[in-house]
Amino acid sequence: MLKTFPKGGIHPHENKITSAKAIKKLPLPKTVYVPISQHIGIPSEIIVERKEKVSIGQVIAKSGGYVSSNIHSPVAGTVTKLDKLIDSSGYKKQCIVIRTDFKDQSNFEIIDTPLQTEIKLSETEILQHITDYGIVGLGGATFPSHVKLNIKKDKIIDYLIINGVECEPYLTADHRLMLEKAEEIIVGIEILMFALHIDKIIIGIENNKKNAIDNFKKLTTNNNKIKVAALKIKYPQGSEKQLVKSLLKREVPKNGLPLDVGVIVHNVGTIFAIYEAVQYNKPLIERVVTVTGKKVKNPSNFWVKIGTPVKDLIDEVGGLPEDTRKIINGGPMMGKAIKNTDVPITKGTSGILVISEDEAERKRSKNCIRCGQCVFVCPMGLEPHLLMNLTEKRMYEKAFNEDIMTCIECGSCSYVCPSHRPLLDYIRFGKSIIKKLETDKN
Partner 1 sequence: MTDSVLHSVLLLTSLGVIAAIVLYVVSKKFYVYENPLITDVEDLLPAANCAGCGSPGCRSFAEKLVNTEDISNLFCPVGGNDVMKSIAELLGKEVIEKDPTVAVLLCQGSCDMRPKTTQFQGPDSCAISALVFSGETDCQYGCLGKGDCVEACLFDAMYMDKDTGLPIIITDKCTSCGACVEACPKNIIEMRPKNKRDLKIFVGCMNEDKGGIAKKACNVACIGCSKCFDICPKGAITMANNLAYIDPYLCTLCRKCVDICPTNSIIETNFPPKKVKANVKPVKIKTDA
Binding of partner 1 by 86 (CB under 8 A): yes
333 binds partner 1 (CB under 8 A): no
- Alpha-carbon gap, residue 224 to 228, rounded angstroms: 10
Find out whether 345 and 87 touch, Cβ atoms under 8 Å: no
Of the candidate spans 49-57, 83-91, 262-270, 397-405, the one that interacts with partner 1 by CB under 8 A turns out to be: 83-91
> 55 or 89: whose CB is closer to partner 1?
89
Taking contact as CB under 8 A, which single stretch among the options 170-178, 366-374, 395-403, 427-435 is the one that binds partner 1? Answer: 427-435
Asked whether position 425 contacts partner 1 by CB under 8 A, the answer is: yes
Quote the CA–CA distance of 315 and 312 in Å, as a whole number.
5
Q: Does 90 bind partner 1 (CB under 8 A)?
A: yes
Interface with partner 1 (CB under 8 A), residue total: 19
Verify binding: residue 426, partner 1, rule CB under 8 A: yes
- Judged by beta carbon, residue 119 or residue 360, the one nearer partner 1 is 360
Q: How far is the CB of 337 from partner 1 (least distance, A)?
A: 8
- The CB-of-432 to partner 1 minimum distance in angstroms stands at 6
Amino acid at 294: K
Three-state DSSP state, 184: helix
Smallest gap from residue 426 Cβ to partner 1 (A): 7
Nearest approach, Cβ of residue 58 and partner 1 (Å): 28
Q: Which is nearer to partner 1, 54 or 388 (CB)?
A: 388
Residue 428 interacts with partner 1 (CB under 8 A): yes or no: yes
C-alpha 411/C-alpha 236 separation (Å) is 9
Q: Using the rule CB under 8 A, is 81 a contact of partner 1?
A: no
Position 259, amino acid: L
Residues 341-360 that bind partner 1 (CB under 8 A): 360
Q: Does 408 bind partner 1 (CB under 8 A)?
A: no
Q: Say whether residue 185 binds partner 1 (CB under 8 A).
A: no
In the complex, what is the shortest distance from the CB of residue 365 to partner 1, in angstroms, rounded to a whole number?
Answer: 7
Please say which residue, 217 or 339, places its beta carbon nearer to partner 1.
339
Determine if 336 is a binding residue for partner 1 (CB under 8 A). Answer: yes
> Rounded to the nearest 10 degrees, how much is the dihedral formed by the CA atoms of 168, 169, 174, 179?
140
H/E element holding 10?
A: none
396 binds partner 1 (CB under 8 A): no
Asked whether position 422 contacts partner 1 by CB under 8 A, the answer is yes
| HEC profile of 201-237 | EEEEEECCCHHHHHHHHHHCCCCCCEEEEEECCCECC
Q: For the purposes of burial, counting CB atoms within 10 Å of the CB of 254, is it exposed (0-12), middle (13-18) or buried (19 or more)? A: exposed
Q: With binding defined as CB under 8 A, does residue 253 bind partner 1?
A: no
Distances from the Cα of 22 to the Cα of 4, 174, 181, 191, angstroms: 29, 12, 11, 26
- Cα distances (Å, whole numbers) of residue 437 to 224, 430, 432, 442: 50, 10, 9, 9
Judged by CB, which is closer to partner 1: 101, or 342?
Answer: 342
Binding characters for partner 1, 279-318, by CB under 8 A (x = yes): ----------------------------------------
The DSSP annotation for 394-405 comes to T-HHHHHHTTGG
Instruction: Establish whether the linkage from the previous residue to 169 is cis, with ω within 30° of 0.
Output: no
User: Of the ranges 30-38, 54-62, 211-219, 420-428, which one interacts with partner 1 (CB under 8 A)?
Assistant: 420-428
The C-alpha atoms of residue 419 and residue 369 are separated, in whole angstroms, by 7
Q: Which of 51, 103, 153, 362 binds partner 1 (CB under 8 A)?
A: 362
Q: Are 12 and 242 in contact (CB under 8 A)?
A: no
Residue 339 binds partner 1 (CB under 8 A):
yes
**Per CB under 8 A, 102 contacts partner 1:** no
**Measured distance CA(58)–CA(65) in Å, rounded:** 19
Residue type, 240: E
Task: List interacting residues with partner 1 (CB under 8 A).
Answer: 84, 86, 89-92, 336-337, 339-340, 360, 362, 365, 422, 425-426, 428-429, 432
